[in-house]
Chain A
């Protein structure tokens, strides 16, 4: 069995965000990037556990991103993946999640794959598109919001659990497939220093963007994509809007109205 895990190199959750002068994304200058965001790291962990559980032949980690994204690949190699593939984009490329999916699918199609793992969503654009888009592009079933999976190699069936609103479903589905993981069964392992040193010798293949684009041409669907109009950071806070009230009930009513209609957080 061959397992592929897709990851994204994203700003660290604690990084202070500033808008780029283009006004379309963050300014990457001075930002600390990482792969250990909740979802991708969990997907990598689960991919490695699949290998340990079912003796998968190899775990390959793949990413689309600028040169710095190699760090993400090396991190997963240090966790224990066997090989890495880097689809390298220009440093300032701002790619729609569907475009990223097409680049990944074009390259994955040329590689052996029984299970393709992705995290529920990237920690930056939070699109959560790649999993089921890859399914469609590769002609495979896809399962999302998965919290547990156990493959049965003889029946080619995955026994899974997934999050649904208000609960959890225990379900089965066939593979080869793409699995989008909400969270893993175990905490992601931390690469140990000896494993980091070992990972330096593992193969890391670079795929130039043009090659990946050429491979993506044969995929189903049209290469249309959204374009970013603007990226907006909220202005610094200037003190609270105070809710005036006579009774606690009035305070509650007014507050809920503000949260729903003005702040749009409910």
Chain B
């Protein structure tokens, strides 16, 4: 069962139908235009109570999904875990959830008794369309909402583009070194970072050479980072760079020199010229995410 909450949901309902769920409940109400945890959880709890035997609640681990679920868990007497990368049924009901902790430096496996409310890390689960799905959408009456929900008013929404996250907080970092050949080629690094929603990092050599600002320097005299994914482009892997990034959960190294020390700490290596690999990688990721190729 898919529950959709919000205002003006017909397109979203159509999109969801294509994946072939058994039911789609649509709580489409102008009072839900502005998100509030208190309002949305009241409606979601009502949806759950309309079901004979709810087993689990799943939501995307977006800002709203992560905010909604703890409140819903309390309202329905359930349990909660955020940002799951794996979910399996638990014996005796509920779910066993795997999720990253410590900035992706470790994983926690948690048993959640029923009703588990779990947000799922974007991209960690493949969504497959079900051609010819004939699910009908059912309107769900919203009914009364708490006053603290209806008095939340969104004044405006600002869409930020090219917003690169703070390096030390970035879940993904694309970093460039001497192998980028010149400051002008960092556009390739930036483009890959944009499609990944990543921060841009740099090796000491290129910062010293004045190609990149010092704020981007990763390593002993720069920043220590531990993102989920670190893409090192044309970085040979001097020790002083490695100590700043080797705790990253997954490291990809792209370098022409197969003997470069960066390959020792990397999880995946591509022996090739970053200048030719990067545009292909950017295009592939943009395509898979449905984004324009920058």
Instruction: List residues of chain A with CB under 8 Å of any chain B CB.
Output: 11, 13-14, 17, 19, 26, 38, 96-98, 101, 121, 123-133, 135-137, 140-145, 162-174, 177, 180, 220-222, 224-234, 237, 239-243, 245, 247-249, 251-253, 255-256, 258-260, 263-266
Contact = CB atoms under 8 A, between A and B. Distances in A.
A-B pairs, 4 with minimum CB distance = A240-B269, A141-B148, A222-B77, A144-B67
B160 A168 contact: yes
A163 B63 contact: yes
B70 to A, nearest CB: 4
Interface string B69-107: 111011101111111010000000000110011111111
Given A126-B100, A144-B67, A229-B96, A173 B151 contact: yes
Nearest to A168: B158
A132 B67 contact: yes
Interface string B270-294: 1110001101110111001000000
B102 to A, nearest CB: 6
B245 interface: no
A164 B249 contact: no
Given A132-B37, A226-B110, A255 B268 contact: yes
B277 A129 contact: no
A256 to B, nearest CB: 5
Contact of B265 (A129, A170, A237, A245): A237
A159 B80 CA distance: 29
A98 B66 CA distance: 14
Contacts, number: 271
Contacts of A130: 70
Given A126-B102, A164-B64, A234 B249 contact: yes
Given A98-B79, A170-B158, A255-B252, A140 B148 contact: yes
B58 interface: no
- State the main secondary structure of chain A at its contact with B: mixed
Nearest to B172: A265
Contacts of B240: none
A226 B79 contact: yes
Interface string B42-80: 000000000000000000001110111111011101111
A169 B156 contact: yes
B135 interface: no
B158 A98 contact: no
A110 B280 CA distance: 59
A248 B276 contact: yes
A232 B280 CA distance: 34
A106 B36 CA distance: 23
Contact of B101 (A125, A167, A227): A125
Contacts of A221: 73-75, 77
B152 interface: yes
Contact of A231 (B70, B83, B108, B288): B108
A99 to B, nearest CB: 10
Contacts of B18: none
Contacts of B41: 132, 136
B270 A245 contact: yes
A232 B267 contact: no
Nearest to B95: A226
A237 B267 contact: yes
Contact of B106 (A177, A234, A245): A234
Contact of A240 (B154, B253, B283): B253
B2 interface: no
A208 B36 CA distance: 34
Contact of A248 (B116, B249, B279): B279
B111 A167 contact: no
B208 interface: no
A173 B146 CA distance: 12
Contacts of A225: 79
B157 A172 contact: no
A232 B99 CA distance: 10
Contacts of B66: 128, 144
B136 interface: no
A165 B63 contact: yes
Nearest to B125: A264
Contacts of B186: none
B218 to A, nearest CB: 14
Contacts of A123: 102-103
A135 B268 contact: no
A10 to B, nearest CB: 9
B169 interface: yes
Nearest to B78: A224
Contact of B159 (A166, A251, A256): A166
Contacts of B21: none
Contact of A242 (B107, B151, B269, B285): B269
